[in-house]
Amino acid sequence: MLVYCPQPGSTVPGITDDALGKLDAPTLIFRSGESDPHHTRATSEQLHALIPCSQLVEPPWPDDEWIRRGEAARAGEGGLFERWPLLAPQLLDFAQH
């Protein structure tokens, strides 16, 4: 359960901030929506600050995507992750550079 519960010194559960600071691989971080209560913008920005080789980019959808997808999923009108293929162009571009 520790990987799901916030811990002091861990911006994201399951890995310490110290360990994040030692990552030396290029890392792409999609900025969280300002309105997303579960994946806060502050978290994505803190990850970017902690990971030395990271690049912070805007996702290809509106700020309230997580909220919209959650509502659609609860209404049986799609899934939380059905629009993730929209990330492909940014991921492919990142992988090629």
Residue 9 φ/ψ region, left for φ over 0, alpha for ψ in the -120 to 50 degree band, beta for the rest? left
Say if residue 1's pLDDT is above 70: no
Give tens-digit pLDDT for 57-89.
999 999 999 999 999 999 999 999 999 999 999
* Beta pairing partners, 28: 55
Say if residue 2's pLDDT is above 70: no
Give tens-digit pLDDT for 8-37.
889 988 899 999 999 999 999 999 988 988
pLDDT at residue 37 in the model: 83
Q: Which residue has the tokens 């799609």?
A: 78
